[in-house]
Amino acid sequence: MRFLTVAFILLAVMLAGAGEALVSESLVLVGPISREAIATLERDWPLSIDDYDGSFATCYTFQEKLELLDSMPWGCTVLVEDLQAHYAEQRAMDFAGDKDEPWTSFHTYAETMTLLETWANDNSSIAKIVDVGTSVEGRHLRCIVISDNVATEEYEPEVRVIGTIHGNEEIANEVVLYLAERLLTDYGTDSAVTEMVDGMEIWLQPLVNPDGYVASRRSNNNSVDLNRNLSYHWNGSDYEPHPFSQPETKALADYSGGDEQYVPDNVEDNTFVLGLTHHSGAVCLNYVWNYQYTDAADKAHVWHNLCQDYSDGCEDSSYYSNLDGGYDNYGDGYQWYDYMDAICEGAEWYPTHGDVNDWSYGERGCLDTTVELSDGQGGGFPEGDIIDFCDANYYGQMAYLEYADDGLHGTVKDGAGVPVLCTITVDSRTEAFMYNDPTVIGDYWLPLDDGTYDVTFSADGYTPQTFEDVVVTGDTTTPIDVVFSQSGVGDLTISAHQTSDGVLLSWETSAEFIAYNIYRDNGRGNSVGERLNQFRLDGGAACYLDARPHAPVSRYRIEAITPDGHREVYGPAEVRLDGEATELLVGLYPNPVVSELTLELNSGGSDCRVTLYDLSGRLVDNLYSGSLSEGRHSLSFDLASRPAGVYLLRVESGSVSENRRVVITR
Ligand SMILES: [Zn+2]
């Protein structure tokens, strides 16, 4: 019986996300509907808005959800019931290009992966492949990184360009591929390209949603719209379990420096200064915010100009002039809406929650822009136009990305030369930003228009530093290197060492403190991290044992409280854990859990056991027992029949074990 249970769990694990027949997507027209109602439409109904003209919204849904929409208080007309069948017909019609010539038909998934690999192999000094994860169906999530000295972290801005995140938006893949090819082939001969490759690190991911691309579906193979699945102001829709529930969005956030509950840490971190996210279905450029109507701090002085540069770059091309207009000037063949510009804030068009732009800017300080390239979706783009179209957008992409090193830059470190994460305030505006490579160089790149600014650098535990009348002159701006010294009423020095029981933190101070709190982060965030001690440590304390340090890096700060209640933050002290301490349990979600709990673990290649205890230490369930091959595994358990409460989950593999608190709610 035990064997059968284990076999069943293994089977369930293997089948998760694979094998089920995909329900076709449908396109519906909802309306008339007000702007107020649009704001919560995606939260309350199984819809993903693709377009809104001020009274009617074009939305994606699924065939099986159509019946649900009958009860909506607005009109709902089915435009296309079976989109995948419609796309197949569309493809068979008159759009097919000449398959024998390059760039005259869409690259397949396999061709895209092979091209990237070939390009990286043929240009190994300036290009490398980074596989950032695998899709629901196990396809590669593949980036090509282009930079001189591509294997080395350098003092240079990092930028990100991504393509097809909605699988039916094929042209988005092509424009990213084409940009990669131009950067590689024109390096050394074209000065703009050479300057960019030498002076930046460019990450290109043409296919964010390869499964959707292969199936010609907007969503991924779990029927989730990936561009609603990131965490920043995610709207808690009933139709998705939690933000970053999908491997495709986890991978994107992982290499983009995401430091969150649901994001793994498998790939090197980047702090992208600028980003481009390509879509199709309309022709416009959108900057943040998408979730709210309030202007972003960077909107007026930087972002609009950046988008204008993209638009102007495209318009220089014959392709756009033949269209009688570009992104900001529509010709007869293209309708646009009276109340807005084609370069606008995303929410001004229609609000969404959990998209790539908002997360990139709100969480990581990256000016990431949506480029809606063309009306064509699902094979509806004329393949014969691919090359001209990519070429036109190439000039837009270059004009936009060139801005990454225009503005203020430098390094921020503490007295010991360790990079420090901080916030920059420019005049009265607050910019959140992160470093490109906080563990190595600590450089920052803040796009700013030419001008004179007062700039303040602030970081937890340090005295803020203000630089007045800083002159910004494009890419010739003089760098400002900041060295922070600790603030406070007295010194407190921390040391941290790895021991067999965990990390032992000890500290010395000559000041009088009445209590301490200990904080830990994984070396990447910009906050003080997670508080470890449940109750304040007494003023007489001088050490603390962290029994569950974060691998591979644990960084500690101590908050010390003075007799008059003032708080001072000291640190950080960082420990790099050696291989022995590699974390076994790398993911546990959702927690609190209602029914299905998923564990992600790094098996050392030995017998593994997962057990559940109640808080009095009694064993209540053997969830799993078996042997797992070396590497990453995902196990799911149904806890729906367990009473609500707090439990202790124990995972053992070889000689390593870990305990985590799990809360079951009903
Ligand atoms: Zn899209």
Of 344, 353, 352, 391, the C-alpha closest to 372 is 344
Per-residue model confidence (pLDDT) at position 449: 82
Residue 95 included in any domain: no
C-alpha 612/C-alpha 87 separation (Å) is 48
In this structure, are strands 607-614 and 619-627 parallel, antiparallel, or unpaired?
A: antiparallel
In whole angstroms, give the CA distance from residue 666 to residue 647: 14
CATH of residue 556: 2.60.40.10
Distance 357 CA to ligand 1 centre (A): 12
Decide which of 484, 503, 532 is a domain's last residue: 484
356 shares its domain with 216: yes
As a whole number of angstroms, the longest Cα–Cα distance in the chain is 80
Burial (CB count within 10 angstroms: exposed 0-12, middle 13-18, buried 19+), residue 623: buried
Could you tell me the distance, in angstroms and rounded to a whole number, from the CA of residue 371 to the centre of ligand 1? 9
- Given 514, 549, 577, the domain boundary residue is 577
Q: Is 152 in the same domain as 123?
A: yes
User: Ligand 1 center to residue 65 CA distance, Å?
Assistant: 20
How many A from CA of 373 to the centre of ligand 1? 10
Round to whole Å and give the CA distance between 558 and 495: 11
Q: For residue 412, what are the contacts with CB-CB under 8 A and spacing of at least 6?
A: 419, 420, 421, 422, 435, 442, 444, 457, 459, 481, 482, 484
Residue pair 396/310 in contact (Cβ under 8 Å)? The answer is yes
What is the CA angle 132-137-141, rounded to 5?
Answer: 20
Ligand 1 mean position, distance from CA 370 (Å):
9
From ligand 1's centre to the CA of 280, what distance in Å? Answer: 6
The answer to whether residues 421 and 546 belong to one domain is no
One domain, residues 199 and 336 = yes
**CATH value at residue 459:** 2.60.40.1120
Tell me, in angstroms, the distance from the centre of ligand 1 to residue 9's CA.
36
- How close is the Cα of 206 to the center of ligand 1, in Å? 13
Residue 94 in domain: no
Same domain, 499 and 554: yes
For residues 457 and 551, membership in a common domain is answered with no
Question: What is the DSSP track for 35-101?
Answer: HHHHHHHHHHSS-EEEEE-SS-EEEEEEGGGGGGGGG-SS-EEEEES-HHHHHHHHHHTT----TTS
Question: Which residues sit opposite 570 in a β-bridge?
Answer: 558
> Can you give the residue range of the structural domain that contains 411?
407-484
DSSP per position, 532-584: --SSPEETT--EEEESSPPSSEEEEEEEEE-TTS-EEEEEEEEEE--GGG--S
State the distance from the centre of ligand 1 to the C-alpha of 57, rounded, in angstroms: 15
Instruction: Specify the pairing of strand 272-279 against strand 158-164.
Output: parallel
- Using DSSP, state whether 186 is helix, strand or coil: coil
CATH of the domain at 327: 3.40.630.10
Number of domains in the chain: 5
- Dist CA 534 CA 537 (whole Å): 9
Are 455 and 363 within one domain? no
Residue 503 counted as domain residue: yes
CB 609 within 8 A of CB 501: no
Say if residue 200 is in the same domain as residue 311.
yes
Given 405, 431, 458, the domain boundary residue is 405
Q: What is the pTM of this model?
A: 0.71
**Cα-to-centroid distance, 245 and ligand 1 (Å):** 19
Mark whether 210 and 157 lie in a shared domain: yes
Quote the CA–CA distance of 545 and 117 in Å, as a whole number: 46
- The answer as to whether 203 is a domain residue is yes
CA–CA dist 608, 596 (Å, integer): 20
CA-closest candidate to residue 357, choices 419, 420, 412, 306: 306
290 in the same domain as 158: yes
Tell me, yes or no, whether 104 lies in a domain. no
Instruction: Give 52 Cα–ligand 1 centroid separation in angstroms.
Output: 13
Q: How far is CA 23 from CA 165, 375, 460, in A?
A: 19, 24, 50
Q: What is the residue whose two structure tokens read 């990139």?
A: 360
The 10 Å Cβ neighbour count of residue 83 is 24
| Ligand 1: centre distance to CA 252 (Å) | 16
The pLDDT score that the predictor gives to residue 24 is 93
Q: How far apart are CA 5 and CA 24, in angstroms?
A: 34
Residue that has been written with the tokens 């377009």 in this structure:
51
d(CA 447, CA 337): 30
- Three-class HEC string of 427-469: CCEEECCCCCCCCCCCEEEEECCCEEEEEEEECCCECCEEEEE
Binned average pLDDT, 10 residues per bin, the chain of 666 residues: 40 43 91 92 91 90 94 94 91 63 89 97 97 96 97 91 97 97 97 96 98 96 94 77 91 89 84 94 87 80 83 74 47 42 82 93 90 84 86 92 91 78 70 54 85 82 81 88 71 82 85 88 66 86 87 85 76 74 71 84 81 77 86 86 83 75 81
Residue 333 covered by a domain: yes
d(CA 623, CA 513): 46
Gap from CA of 385 to ligand 1 centroid (Å): 20
CATH code (residue 67): 3.30.70
Predicted confidence at residue 2, as pLDDT, reads 42
- Residue 348 maps to a domain: yes
Q: Does residue 90 belong to any structural domain of this protein? A: no
Residue 481 to residues 199, 406, 445: CA-CA distances in angstroms?
19, 16, 12
3-state helix, strand, coil in the chain (%, to 5): 25, 35, 40
Same domain, 139 and 223: yes
* Claim to verify: residue 508 and residue 648 sit in the same structural domain: no
